[in-house]
Each structure stands twice: as structure tokens, then as C-alpha cells.
Structure 1
């Protein structure tokens, strides 16, 4: 009787372990970022944004963020007519102007000043200064938006390229 009771207890024990293992789901890591680097995160971007790139200058001691926003530079061609046609297809607004950010929301951190200048005929350059890190921004341009964060002080270059429409 004691042996059969011991066998029932052991079998029940192993049955519970097997049942628990089958019901246990391994934890999944929820990544809420599209792109994560050592010191930056890209949380989201709208569908008309082709790419967002991050780089940090290792030489500079300044705290600045440069954001280049616009269309990719056209591939140089030997035929000037083809180059004109390629550039002519890249339109963001009806008048063909280079896109700008209509609104910049500061989620975390701060910047004291933003300067807008023309980087190329296809892109604008935004220079953010007077920074407090980590700097989490949501940038809006018409229907397009980018949600990103830079976690470490320094000189950052962020490239945001729109798709060719």
C-alpha cells in the first residue's frame, strides 16, 4: 500500500511538472523601437519616411544635434536630362519646396534653440543647441512624423530621408 501511494504521488508530481511546462510561455521581449543603438532609439516613423540614420562624432566636445531632413541626394548621371527628370519626381509640396518640421514635441530633455538652414536643394538642416540629454523628440512635417531619442551628450547627426513620391 505504501509503495502504490508513493508511486501515485511521484507520478502526480511529474504530471504536474509536465503540465506546468506545457502551460508556461517563455517571456517575450517587447521592443517598442524600430531601431535601437547603444545611445539612441527610433520609436516610430510614418510610412512616407524611407530611413532614419544616427551617428555621433567622437571628436567633438560640443552638445549639438544636426537633423538633415528631406529627400535623398540624386544619383549623379552623365546625362543632364535624366538628372533633371529624377529630381523633378521628388516632390513633397505642390510648389516643390524642401520639407520642414511644422512641430517638434519635446517628450524628455530640452533644447534652447533651433536653427534652420538649407543643407542641399533636397534637404534642410536643423541645428539644435542648448541641449539636455536624454533628448526624446517627436518631429512632425505635414502628415509625416518621427519619434526618436538620443540618450548621450555629444554632437549627433541624424538623417531623415523621405521616400520618392
Structure 2
């Protein structure tokens, strides 16, 4: 009788171990970043949300300076995670290029070689826009390997003696995006 019992315990152990192994393999497979997988789609959504947050911060700072008039200057700070990680951007969109700029009355932030703001002919959205209070001449900055810092300082000023301009530089631990607006100038 003891031999039968040992065999039954071993069989039950192998069955439970096999089920646990299958569950573990399924969970590992579901969290890896495969094209079209749930994890990749989640990553794309997180990047798009971060793009929207950055675009809103820039547009909000521009609106504040525009409301104050010529000679005004304002600084806003923002944090990003995914936009500063080229590996994540490459997995989500197939490119690590990040574009930040303005076009017409919109501020845009996008990832990829071709910026797509709507689902056009099955192409997936990789760019978000936010309205600003004036029409820009269309300026921007390209970062070929994602943003160089996770901490961003946005400096917007309205100097009527200068043309509209967007520039970026790494200052200390911050990516400093400097924007001069000149509505009507």
C-alpha cells in the first residue's frame, strides 16, 4: 500500500508542477514586448500620454506668455520617462526619433520618422497636438535618440526684437527647451 501512495503523490506533484510551469510560461510570454502584443500596445499608450503631457506643458507656457504680452517670460518644468528611453520608443514605434515643435496654432510632440496625428489608412497615431493661442510659423526640434534627459525645463519668452525660434540644450541635468514667440512679428 505504501508504494501505491508514493506513486500517487509523485503523480500529483508532477501534475501541479506542470500546471505551474504552463502558467509561468504564459505570464512571461504575455509581458514581453512583441509587435502587436498587449504589452506593446500598453507601451504605445503610455508614450502617447506622456507626449500629450509634454505638449500641454509647452502650450500652457506659451499661452501664459502670450496672455502677458511682449516682454513676458515664463518657465515650466516637466518630467518624462518613456520619451527619454530610446529602447522603449523603438519597441513601441520602430523609431527613437522624437519631434517637438509647432505648426499653425498647434504644439506637437511625436515619435517616429513620419508624424501621424490621426489613423489615416490604417497607420497608427504616433503624434499628439495641443492648441495654442496664436498661429506659429512652424518651428521644431528633432531628437534622433529620444529626449536626452528625463527632466525638462521649458522657457518661453516674447521678445519682439527676435523672430520666433525653438532651441534645445542640455543644461546640467535638464533638457532646456527655449522658445521665443513673436505673434504677428
TM-score (norm 2): 0.29
Give the TM-score normalised by structure 1.
0.32
Structure number having the greater helix percentage: 2
